[in-house]
Chains A and B, each alone.
Chain A
């Protein structure tokens, strides 16, 4: 069983075998548009398109997508709301609403609100773009793509090892926790704390041993400092790439238009 639902979806969706180049391009374009325009309208269009592509092409339902989206969105909201609220002076212009707490005068100004909306738009849009990539593309395809783009090897090696050994670590921790549970290690609060501490320290030692044995095994296969693996050539279709770029450009033009002439 796969303990990570996002990983499971990445391997099981209908866009799994689509060229990573195209998916990365689509996701990167979406993020760029949202960050570039910082406009709620543009973000709304992007998120709608991402949701539609996930639903129609990848077979990932809206409910699933938003299920993955709501938790990080919570973080964004808790960050954005305080941003909109600020301390007001006697002469602060454009106050939309305010409240006096003791000697403090707190309120929302139109400038602050616009700023908060811009942050919300760019971060929420980037989040949905990134999540699109995470849901449709397994890590192996993403690291391959990064290799093709000559991202530093050390960075990719770390990504690969962290990904692989997250699962090993999780399995080890799970087995240890079960072993503690069956011996009543979590039956009281006091024992719970003790067991968790033991688990953590043991897990650290295990990881060290795991690292040593990995190094040994890699050495036996000729490891000399670089984790080189074969990367398949990326098959991408010019038509689809042009289509993706076309959609992004259209959204871009529309975004510029709304900004310049105030269309919504």
Chain B
């Protein structure tokens, strides 16, 4: 039975584009990998404890975990800023070398976007800032110009290109910071809590930017505390705890694993929690494909539950009702 669910894209700005159904798919080759990486800071804090994680090529990966679980430390290892005390970082099957050539290769391939854009932007204008990375790769001026313009277009910051950083909003600075690494044409873009501190609309815009970069063939890795975003958007979720890998897998599986949720002190996404209740109460068969966003949940309910006659006659709109709940 086909059920049409009205699109809530226009009604509520906080929607993430529904991911294509990529449930059990072929394992992708590993683009970037940490192999048994251990790292401790000078004060003795062990940030990573023989951690092994692979980032599959072409996927959207979300890294989850409590504050201080080592997400940022892992990202700094991927960017070649920190060097493992033991273990190694592997790019495209080759262990990363920490000499000049190795670093140039790593930094061209891996674009690291920091949480605080003010620590990344330094130049007097947006366009100049974006040109910094590509110029360091030794490209010709013509190629650099093309790369800068392409990055400006992809991140939709054309109207900001000649402004100084201090005249940009926080969300705009984030986009500029992304453009700055995008211009270096990396295979993977790693962003540390990119949506933290952004309003819902900016978050949605940022997520759709990541989607367009992903559609262009790039691997995207982000860390976040937003479980709804992780469930709706990720192809793969990585959960860390105290510098170790707790679990990695498809978001619906990871978020339905009670041990992982308890171990990493994660909240189950409301969509999945509701789904669980409805299954438990017998409204939805337990073998149904778990929903990843409100749309999919509504579709499931529409398929398996019949509407109340009174609701139809009164023109009841479940989405409106849902909205007033959120407000």
Contacts and interface: CB of A to CB of B under 8 A. Distances in A.
B104 interface: yes
With most chain B CB atoms within 10 A of its CB, the pick from A140, A161, A224 is A140
A223 B124 contact: no
Interface in A208-254: 210, 213-214, 216-224, 227-231
A96 to B, nearest CB: 50
B102 to A, nearest CB: 12
B141 interface: yes
Interface in A59-112: none
Contact of A229 (B103, B128, B163): B128
A11 interface: yes
Interface in B267-314: none
Interface in B91-141: 100, 103-104, 107-108, 111-112, 114, 116, 118-125, 127-129, 131-133, 135-137, 141
B124 A221 contact: no
Contact of A220 (B112, B129, B141): B112
Contact of B124 (A138, A217, A222): A138
Contact of B133 (A171, A213, A216, A221): A221
A2 B165 CA distance: 11
B122 A228 contact: no
Interface of A: 2, 7, 11, 138-140, 143, 160-161, 163-165, 167-168, 171, 210, 213-214, 216-224, 227-231
Contacts of B123: 140, 160, 164, 227, 229
B79 interface: yes
B167 interface: yes
B107 A222 contact: yes
B164 interface: yes
B107 A217 contact: no
A174 to B, nearest CB: 12
Nearest to B75: A220
Contact of B148 (A7, A210, A223, A230): A230
Contacts of A229: 123, 128-129, 131-132, 135
Given A143-B124, A167-B166, A230-B145, A221 B131 contact: no
Interface in B180-213: 180-181, 184
Nearest to B100: A224
Nearest to A217: B120
Given A160-B122, A164-B165, A217-B114, A230 B127 contact: yes
A11 B164 contact: yes
Nearest to A166: B166
B11 interface: no
Contacts of A223: 132, 136
A143 B107 CA distance: 27
Contact of A228 (B100, B132, B165, B180): B132
Nearest to B112: A220
B47 interface: no
26 contacts: A2-B166, A11-B163, A138-B125, A143-B124, A160-B122, A164-B121, A167-B165, A168-B166, A216-B81, A216-B119, A217-B112, A217-B120, A219-B81, A219-B107, A220-B111, A221-B132, A222-B133, A222-B136, A222-B137, A227-B123, A227-B132, A228-B135, A229-B131, A230-B131, A230-B135, A231-B128
Q: Is the interface of B mostly helix, strand, loop or mixed?
A: helix
Q: Is the interface of A mostly helix, strand, loop or mixed?
A: helix
B64 interface: no
Contacts of B124: 138-140, 143, 160, 163-164
A167 to B, nearest CB: 4
B144 interface: yes
A222 B108 contact: yes
Q: Which 4 A-B pairs have the closest CB atoms?
A: A222-B136, A140-B124, A230-B131, A167-B166
Contact of B122 (A138, A161, A224, A231): A161
B266 interface: no
Contacts of B90: none
A157 B154 CA distance: 28
A228 B120 contact: no
A219 B98 CA distance: 13
Contacts of A220: 79-81, 107, 111-112, 181
Contacts of A139: 124, 164
Contacts of B127: 230
With most chain B CB atoms within 10 A of its CB, the pick from A165, A214, A219, A222 is A222
B261 interface: no
A240 to B, nearest CB: 21
Contact of B164 (A140, A210, A216): A140
A152 to B, nearest CB: 17
Contact of B141 (A7, A11, A160, A230): A230
A216 B119 CA distance: 9
A224 B125 CA distance: 20
A210 B133 CA distance: 20
Nearest to A140: B124
Nearest to B133: A221
B119 A11 contact: no
B181 to A, nearest CB: 7
A221 B130 CA distance: 10
